[in-house]
Amino acid sequence: MYTKKVYKAWDMFKWTRFETLLFLIFSGIIASLYFFLDLHWLKIPWTPLALIGTAVAFVIGFQNNSAYGRIWEARKIWGGVVNTSRTFGMFVQDMVTNEYCDENIGKKEIEKEIKALTYRHIAWMVALRYSMRAPKPWETVMNERSNREWSKYIQPPERLSTLEKDLEPYLSKQDMEYTLSKGNKQTALLYLQSHHLRQLKEKGLIWEFSFLQLEGILEELFTLQGKSERIKNFPYPRHFATLNHYFMWVFVLLLPFALVPQFAEIGNEIAQKFPVIGHYFLWLAIPFYVIVSWVFHTMERIGRTGENPFEGSANDVPISTIARGIEIDLRQNLGEALDEIPEQFPVIYDTQM
């Protein structure tokens, strides 16, 4: 457990090492100007800086709460996808029967229809996760240097394959052409499901009451899809995110002009009894500044990272893993052999995608 905590702390340090080095160099320059050139006028009163720091802390807290809310809502939506998908798979297997058919339809034909409906649902999940992973202009977290380094080791499966390739095993040629011709492919697949269910009802393979229940499941899937698309297509308000980012940097860049003189004054008092310690005491402002700046910067950056829970970073909702888990459940319950079912996406560096 201790080793795991140390490992996580090291990862956090690596994630912010460029900014931490900048804080160290910047505070070293200010301290050097104050110490070697006696620029005692190079200071800012604590009162305005404390007001700025308080405002920045409130805004960062608001941003982090909002970002966490978006992540948690996204997780609940995809939890709903899990439950509704399993319900759909169960209903399809038990409601598609020849009990109400005018003429007897063989077991293999019924199994074919059940498989087509189940596979089309899996295709819907594939299309939905690809849509959620599509880049948006406001999704810029992965442009940061340390995040680009991270993406060399961990990438969502959607960046390593194509939608057409991943849809092909689950759709007929006709369904494939129809789906790819539409802008919103996941919506097109739910339309195909509804059309298919209506055809089965007309054949008598689905009882009318069962048809209504299955249509209700499709309605719930539309609702969950719309909620997921709402988070994807509506970003965290930019005026909050941008101003918060700028305010944080204003505070961080002004902080050493108050912190270094304060430590110098404390050093003057200490010098009355301990001259050597008091003379060099102001240099302790550097590590204190780095710690405070690191905390403010890291909290603000965590908030920015959580704004878009489907972007594909290590802290996002693992929609690829969730969708693959549902697929495995559905195909196992169809009675398929284990070697025919794809494996779950691997967990890399304790991260699910």
286 with 321, same domain: the answer is no
The DSSP 8-state label assigned to residue 347 in this structure reads: P
Q: How many CA atoms lie within 13 Å of 182's alpha carbon, on the beta-carbon side?
A: 16
Does residue 62 fall inside a structural domain? no
Residue 163 has pLDDT above 60, yes or no: yes
Answer whether residue 118 is part of any domain: yes
> Mean pLDDT across the stretch 240-253?
84
Mean pLDDT in the chain? Answer: 86
Read off the pTM.
Answer: 0.86
> Which residues are within 8 A (CB) of 230 and not within 5 positions of it... i.e. 6 or more apart?
none
Instruction: Return the top range by mean pLDDT from 97-101, 125-129, 311-315, 340-344.
Output: 125-129
Q: Are residues 201 and 350 in the same domain?
A: yes
- Judge residue 340's burial from the number of C-beta atoms within 10 Å of its C-beta, 0-12 exposed, 13-18 middle, 19 or more buried: exposed
Classified as helix, coil or strand, 156 is: coil
Are residues 222 and 277 part of one domain? Answer: no
Q: How much is the pLDDT for 82?
A: 95
End position of a domain, from candidates 306, 327, 344: 306
Residues 203 and 324 in one domain: yes
Between 19 and 78, the higher pLDDT residue: 78
> What 3-state DSSP class applies to 107?
helix
Residue 149 sits in the same domain as residue 225: yes
For residue 337, being part of any structural domain is answered with yes
Q: Is residue 51 part of a domain?
A: no
Rama region for 344: left / alpha / beta (φ>0; ψ in -120 to 50; rest): beta
- 332 part of a folded domain: yes
Give the separation between CA 70 and CA 158, rounded to whole angstroms. Answer: 22
> Domain ends where: 282, 306, 330?
306
The pLDDT assigned to 350 comes to: 73
Q: Is the pLDDT score of 194 beyond 50?
A: yes
Quote the pLDDT of residue 147. 66
Mark whether 156 and 264 lie in a shared domain.
Answer: no
Q: Does the pLDDT at position 190 exceed 60?
A: yes
Contact present, 273 and 265 (Cβ < 8 Å) = no
Parent domain of 124 = 79-236+317-353
Pair 174, 35 in one domain: no
User: Do 122 and 132 belong to one domain?
Assistant: yes
Confirm whether 135 is domain-assigned.
Answer: yes
Radius of gyration of the chain (CA): 29
According to the model, what pLDDT value does residue 1 have? 34
How sure is the predictor about 195, in pLDDT bands with cuts at 50, 70 and 90?
very high
Q: How far apart are CA 305 and CA 112, in angstroms?
A: 44
Residue 70 forms part of a structural domain: no
Q: What is the mean pLDDT of residues 233-260?
A: 84
Residue 148 is predicted with a pLDDT of 67
Decide if 69 is inside a domain: no
Predicted local distance difference test score (pLDDT) of residue 3? 44
Dihedral in degrees, nearest 10, Cα atoms 62, 66, 67, 69 = 140
Asked whether residue 216 falls in the same domain as residue 247, the answer is no
Judgement on whether residues 193 and 262 belong to the same structural domain of the protein: no
For residues 194 and 285, membership in a common domain is answered with no
* Number of structural domains the chain divides into: 2
Say how many residues make up the chain. Answer: 353
pLDDT at 20: 86
* pLDDT given at position 216: 96
Average pLDDT over residues 288-299: 90
Give the integer Cα–Cα distance in Å for 62 and 244. 10
CA distance 193 to 178: 13
pLDDT at 236: 76
Please check whether residues 118 and 212 belong to one and the same domain: yes
